[in-house]
Structure formats: structure tokens, C-alpha cells
Amino acid sequence: MTDQDTDKEPHFGWLFSQWYKGGENQATEALVKWFCYSSSFAQRQFLTGLCALKRVPRKKFTWDKLELQAKSKKSVPDAKIWLEQKYVLLVEGKIRPNTVSVKQLKRHFKGVGFKPQKANRNLETKLLLVTPDWGAPKRLENLAEGYRNNVVWVNWQHIFHFLSKDLKTKISADRLLRDAMVDFLKAHDDLKKYFFI
């Protein structure tokens, strides 16, 4: 094992050591872990650049809580990330195209008390939907506007491109995490066919 392998090994450990058993949830788990362990600089690039979120704090921010398979009464999103008690980012990932369920997305919103007809000034809620579809899933058009306006869709192909080409950082830990996540995606049985590598 070379020094370079030694530096990367711990990051591969937590990315490849999966809590989930299914391939779909493993991909989402790896993405969420990459996100949470990256610096706020890398997180901000991901949220503003790739996900096009507008109200991301400019200062250094911290994530209060990460919940994988966060259960509520009728909903189990892949992950729930709480930011400074002002924001909650729900994460739902799919590894097969055309598998988005409008009912599932609505349940995820309702599970955190989101009501599309009311502005909640205390807690901003966004749902990050990650799929391999080449365009925004058509089923999102069936989602009521109040929900749809709070869904941020991005495909795995854009995530792969963002990580392998667009994420610019001088922070060595971010580079190691980025490389580990790229390698994870390249090796994922269901997703690697979408990356043209």
C-alpha cells in the first residue's frame, strides 16, 4: 500500500461500508455522506451550483443533524439533513429512470410538517430528488405547484460531472472525499452505465 492509498483508505471505508443493503439506497447514502463530510465550501458549491438553491448561508455553516432513512408516520425519505435549525433538506434517490412517485414525494414533505399553501418562515424545506433520468421526470408535472416549487431535481450524471470536473477546491480533505465518491459512482453496478467512462 502506497502513501496515497493510505490517505484515501479511510474515506473509501465509510463510503463503501454501507448501512443500507439495496443499491438504490447505497448510492444515496454515499452521496449524503460525501456531502456531510465535505467542507462548507464544497457543500455551498453543491447546493448553489448544482442544485441551484438560492438561500444558502454565505458564512460558514454547520449541519445540525443527519438522519438516514428518517421515519415519520407515513414517510421514509432516504435522508434528512437539518441546517442551523432553519433548513431541512430531504433527499430521495432513484437508480432507475422513470421511477419517481408523486405520492411518495408528498408524504416526505408532509412528514416534516410542510404545507404547500403556507409559507413557513421558521423552517425552509427542500427535497433533493436524484434520478438517472436525462431530463426532469415527467411525473413531477403531476405534483401540486406548492410542492413542485420545493423539489430540486438533479440527475446522477450531473452529480458525477460536478464531482469529477466542476468541484474546485484547495482543501485536500475535499479532494480525497470527491475522489472517493467519484470512484464509488464508477463502481456502482446500476449507475456506472450512465457516466460514459
Q: Where are the domains of the chain?
A: 3-194
pLDDT in tens, 55-78: 776 666 666 677 777 677 778 888
Asked if 157 and 195 touch (Cβ cutoff 8 Å), the reply is yes
- Helices within the chain (DSSP H only): 3-16, 23-37, 40-45, 102-111, 145-148, 156-161, 172-187
Residue 53: the pLDDT is 76
**Lowest pLDDT segment from 8-17, 33-42, 103-112, 129-138:** 8-17
Q: Name the burial class of residue 124, with classes exposed (0-12), middle (13-18) and buried (19+) by CB atoms within 10 angstroms of its CB.
A: middle
* Residue 176 predicted with pLDDT over 70: yes
Can you tell me the distance from the alpha carbon of 186 to that of 197, in angstroms, rounded to the nearest whole number?
8
Q: Is the pLDDT higher at 30 or at 21?
A: 30
Residue 3: the pLDDT is 29
